[in-house]
Structure 1
Amino acid sequence: MRSPIVIIGLGQLGAVFAHGFLRTGRPVMPVTRELSIRETAVEVPRPDLALVAVGEADLEAVLSELPDAWRDRIGLLQNEMLPPDWEKHDIVEPTVIAVWFEKKRTTGITEIFPSPVAGPRANLVSEALATLGLHTRHVDDITDDLILKNLYILVANIAGLETGGTVGALWTEHNGLVSALSEEILQIQSALAARQVDVAGMIEALGDTFLADPDHGTRGRSAPARLARALAHANRLGLGVPELRRIATDHTA
């Protein structure tokens, strides 16, 4: 029998990946809140892939709990994530995907762009998603792709606290706000990743992503938490970010 795939967290995205892996003929072992990662590792000591599919807020706790035998076969898909987030847990070369599709509880899967994927098990991930009609592209260094995805999520959610509406309207009707927020968020991302960022190029790419799915809503349930995390990073890094602070003052309790 082929080695199983472990999926930690079986929310909407985790379920999509589980479906894809099952369709490739691979057994899937889900780890939910009711199951212990350590206990699962006894049953499945060397999975082909251990995909961490929990939300951003739970990522740190899960990475700190991973058994050593899994650390060379980890997969990651979270938003608001950059290489230092896994490097500090001695995860050297994970398989990472910047997900450009969405699955809501009451809808099908909406794909915006092919999702970039990097790492030693990128082919495994691409094979699974292809069974669902989803596209990927392989990259050697995924950092810029993660920064762009983070920019998309953070600008849409945080600007949406002020404007509401769709990302298409945000781009066409509130471009000044988008630019100001983008510059501040990219300051944070650049500092977190210890990497120079092409600000103009990133903002142009952001516009392309907004216009690829212009009817997508802006503000989500996670928007206040995303803003709070961005400000916590800015405070720790000593960054001014006046537009982020203004929105926090005006639109959060």
Structure 2
Amino acid sequence: MNDPVIVVGIGEMGGVFTRGLLRLGHPVFPVTRKTEMNNIARAVPDPRLVLVSVGEDDLHPTLESLPAAWKNHLGLLQNELLPGDWKQHEIDNPTVISVWFEKKKGQDYKVLIPSPAYGPQAPLLENALTTLDIPTWEVATPEAMEFELVRKNVYILTTNIAGMVVGGDVEQLWEQHQELARQVADEVMDIQAWLVGHHLERDKLIDGMVEAIEGDLHHQCTGRSAPKRLARALAYADEAGLKVPKLREIQESC
């Protein structure tokens, strides 16, 4: 029998990874909101991977309560994820994947572009998703993975926040409202640069965002998470002392 895997959060995204892991023959132990993690950790103290697939708002409470025995087996897949998110919990080398496929209730997954992964169990995630025909690739260095996380954040935050103004899909945003999209992206990159603590390759990030836009031109810009994303971005901007006038203008107008 293959080594067991823990999946914390069996929602839409966690369900996709679970399917792939089961196809590889790994027993999967689910952890839900009603599950006591320490009880599972006593039964499975040394899993192959502990994949945390909760939403962004639940990430830090989950990491705070994560059993110590599992910290060296951690996998993360959240949006708006950056190295500081795991380092503040004294987690040094998790497996991280920047998910570029969408999964909504009642629909199967939809791939935008291949998903990059890095860390000890990146090959496991790549193999699991390959069983579902979801393209994945392994990143060579932590610096390259940080870039991929920032790239995803720029795409999500820019399309979500600009979409609060203009609506529509990402093709319409980029073709008809590119000036707005670039203004939002620039301020988002100001915040991301503060969060990671160094300058960013901004032209390369814009190119990466455009690649994702072209991967699914009819992807809707905004959804129910957009106001929360804007609020989080502005909270970071306030902490960093950044002006971000376009983001503040959007908040006031929406």
Q: TM-score range by the shorter chain?
A: over 0.9
Matched with 2:179 is 176
Asked whether 1:218 is paired with 2:217, we answer: no
Q: CA deviation at 1:87?
A: 0.5
Structure 1 distance, partners of 2:103, 2:38, is 29
Alpha-carbon shift at residue 2 of structure 1 (Å): 2.3
The answer to whether 1:7 aligns with 2:7 is: yes
Counting aligned pairs with the same residue, the percent is 45
**Is 1:42 the equivalent of 2:47?**
no
Offset at 1:204? 2.1
CA distance in 2 between partners of 1:9 and 1:173 (Å) = 38
AA at the equivalent of 2:241: G
Q: Report what 1:233 is aligned to.
A: 236
Match of 1:82 in 2: 82
Give, in whole Å, the separation in 1 of the partners of 2:198 and 2:125. 27
Matched, 1:61 2:64: no
The CA deviation at 1:45 is 0.8
Is the partner of 2:29 in helix, strand or coil?
strand
1:157-209 residue CA offsets vs partner (Å, 9 max, x unmatched): 11111111001100110000011000100010011011220112211221221
Q: Normalised by the size of structure 1, how large is the TM-score? A: 0.97
Which residue does 2:133 correspond to in 1? Answer: 133
Deviations 1:66-124 (A, max 9, x none): 11111111000001110011011111000000001111112111111111000011111
The whole-number CA distance in structure 1 between the counterparts of 2:183 and 2:212 is 18
Q: Does 1:162 align with 2:165?
A: yes
What is the CA deviation profile of residues 136-163 of structure 1, one whole-angstrom value per residue up to 9, with x for unaligned ones?
A: 1111220000000011111111111111
Q: CA deviation at 1:64?
A: 0.8
Cα distance in structure 2, aligned partners of 1:249 and 1:179: 19
Gaps of 5+ in 1: none
Amino acid at match of 2:68: D
Letter in 2 for 1:138: E
> CA shift at 1:3, angstroms?
2.0
The two structures, once aligned, show a CA RMSD in angstroms of 0.8
Distance in 1, matches of 2:249 and 2:238, equals 14
Under a length normalisation based on structure 2, what TM-score does the superposition of the two structures give?
A: 0.97
| Cα separation, 2, equivalents of 1:67 and 1:194 | 29
How big is the shift at 1:38?
Answer: 1.5
1:206 matches 2:209: yes
1:72 aligned counterpart, secondary structure: helix
Output the CA distance in 2 between the equivalents of 1:102 and 1:3: 28
- Which amino acid counterpart does residue 120 of structure 1 have in structure 2? P
